[in-house]
Amino acid sequence: MMSLLVVAAIVISVALGYKTKINIGLFAIAFAYLIGCFGMGLSPSDIINMWPLKIFFIIFSVCLFYSFATVNGTLEKLAEHLIYTCRAFPQLLPFAVFATAGAIAAMGAGYYTVLAFMAPITLLLCERTGMSLILGGMAVNYGALTGANFVSSQSGIIFRGLMTGAGISENDAFINAFGIFLSTLVIPLVVISAFVFLTGHGKSMKNSSFVATPPSPLNREQRITLWLTLAMMAMVLAAPIAHIALPDNATVTFINSKMDIGLIASLFSVIALLLKLGDERKAMASVPWSTLIMICGVGMLISVAIKAGTIDILASWIGSTIPPVLVPLVFGIIAAIMSIFASTLGVVTPALFPIVPPIAATMGIEPMVIFIAIVVGAQATSISPFASGGSLILGSCTSEQSRTALFPQLLFKAAPIGFVAALVFNVLLTFVY
């Protein structure tokens, strides 16, 4: 009975957030308190301790450092330079848009931030180069998703935190997160390549008269910010990779044990402030506070669900009902449906990731396969005009006419193509493993 109540609370939180536009995390905190304290006999301190402090600290620290690149214009300037390099090969412009959005998101800008300033640029390029709106929209959306999924970027960090919270070791979480990144890199490249080389999109862009003006060079603050960002990414990646390659080396093991991306990002934030790379108040304001509250609030409600035994019941049901070969596919479909109405980072992955380890252990499936299936499925429908990605792209249209033309393309072409591509990938992934 209590498990059904918790599940209903999660659904109601999402529905209320969608209807009222109030942060879902706030509803989740309220339900966690009411159900946990008055329904399950937990103390208020128990509920407060369910706040995922580690995930909160890591996301806050990393986003604070990366926000300097947004505040001082480094990311925008980088986008201009990367797109300019493609001026001689207009038919490759979708790949340039994808790579640009991906690189900027991987540097920590996050999915929504990248779309906010890359979508208008991309749609403007569509008008000037003959690139179709649907191809441009898919390229920028896929790029922002892929880059954000990088192991040291916003989504990648959240995935790693959720996995370790579900009982996965730090090393395995790193490997799983890298698998998610590679998977969400392969799918877009295949889809975009099919558009460019197997349809008329590439030919129309090749015959276009695309004129690109040279961007201005990076200033002092932007150059230093870029080098600091690359240095931090290198530090964060070097230690776990070295430990995976040399697991018995005592020195590597010691260094890896002292590495924490949240603390490293905090150190680099101090360096950025001392070097005056951006205004502290603007950088602090750029931290995605609403996303943080949503992730942590839902995390509290998920912790209540774990206490109530909801996760074990759901894992047992899936384990006894669905054949092992179909488990990743089913998880991908569930995640895709959920993400139409709810955030991948704030709701879908916090709700589904804790189920993965017990199901994987019971059915003899590699956990990474299910983790990948969940993320691939959840992000497949993000370009729907009803989802956050599609709505941001529609909002970036320069005219009502282009917005009206793009809406059905996103709903009836882009979203179904992404969904089918995700299903095919999850099926192939299941048979490979």
Phi-psi region of 246 (alpha: psi -120 to 50; beta: other; left: phi over 0): beta
Average pLDDT over residues 174-192: 93
Q: How confident is the model at residue 201 (pLDDT cuts 50, 70, 90)?
A: low
Which range has the worst mean pLDDT, 65-79, 143-157, 297-311, 379-393? 379-393
pLDDT over 60 (residue 422): yes
pLDDT over 70 (residue 209): no
- More confident site: 24 or 387: 24
- More confident site: 70 or 365: 365
Highest mean pLDDT among 71-85, 169-183, 246-260: 169-183
Average pLDDT over residues 396-407: 73
Alpha helix (H) ranges present in 72-219? 74-84, 93-104, 111-129, 133-148, 154-165, 170-198, 201-206
pLDDT over 90 (residue 31): yes
Residue that is written with structure tokens 């003899």 in the block: 364
Confidence at residue 253, expressed as pLDDT on a 0 to 100 scale: 86
Average pLDDT over residues 109-122: 76
Q: How confident is the model at residue 203 (pLDDT cuts 50, 70, 90)?
A: low
DSSP 187-243: HHHHHHHHHHHHSSHHHHHHTS----PPPPPP-HHHHHHHHHHHHHHHHHHHHHHHH
Asked if 259 and 236 touch (Cβ cutoff 8 Å), the reply is: yes
Report which secondary-structure segment, H or E, holds 324: none
Average pLDDT over residues 223-239: 87
Dihedral sign from CA coordinates of 290, 295, 296, 299 = positive
Could you tell me the two tokens for 243?
């430990």
Give pTM, 2 decimals.
0.77
Confidence at residue 200, expressed as pLDDT on a 0 to 100 scale: 62
Q: What distance in Å separates the CA atoms of residue 180 and residue 151, rounded to the nearest whole number?
A: 9
Confidence at residue 344, expressed as pLDDT on a 0 to 100 scale: 82
Residue that is written with structure tokens 């208020």 in the block: 44
Could you tell me the two tokens for 367?
């956990």
- More confident site: 323 or 236: 323
Q: What percent of the chain stands above pLDDT 70?
A: 91
Which range has the worst mean pLDDT, 124-128, 153-157, 175-179, 205-209? 205-209
pLDDT over 60 (residue 10): yes
Q: What is the pLDDT of residues 342-380, one digit of tens each?
A: 678 877 888 889 889 988 888 888 999 999 999 999 998
Phi, psi of 2 (to 5 degrees): -65, -35
Report, in angstroms and rounded to the nearest whole number, the Rg of the chain calculated over CA atoms: 22
Domain boundaries, the chain: 52-130+137-286
pLDDT over 70 (residue 418): yes
- More confident site: 7 or 117: 7
Q: What distance in Å separates the CA atoms of residue 417 and residue 410, rounded to the nearest whole number?
A: 10
Q: How confident is the model at residue 381 (pLDDT cuts 50, 70, 90)?
A: confident
Confidence at residue 87, expressed as pLDDT on a 0 to 100 scale: 67
What is residue 149's DSSP assignment?
T
Q: How confident is the model at residue 125 (pLDDT cuts 50, 70, 90)?
A: confident
pLDDT over 90 (residue 268): yes
Which range has the worst mean pLDDT, 239-253, 304-318, 323-337? 304-318
Asked if 295 and 350 touch (Cβ cutoff 8 Å), the reply is: yes
Average pLDDT over residues 231-251: 84
Q: What is the pLDDT of residues 134-164, one digit of tens each?
A: 888 899 999 999 999 998 888 898 899 899 9
Average pLDDT over residues 283-310: 84
Confidence at residue 216, expressed as pLDDT on a 0 to 100 scale: 85
Q: What distance in Å separates the CA atoms of residue 66 and residue 110, rounded to the nearest whole number?
A: 9
pLDDT over 70 (residue 98): yes
Which range has the worst mean pLDDT, 27-31, 278-282, 392-396? 392-396
Q: How confident is the model at residue 19 (pLDDT cuts 50, 70, 90)?
A: confident
Mean pLDDT, the chain, whole residue set? 84
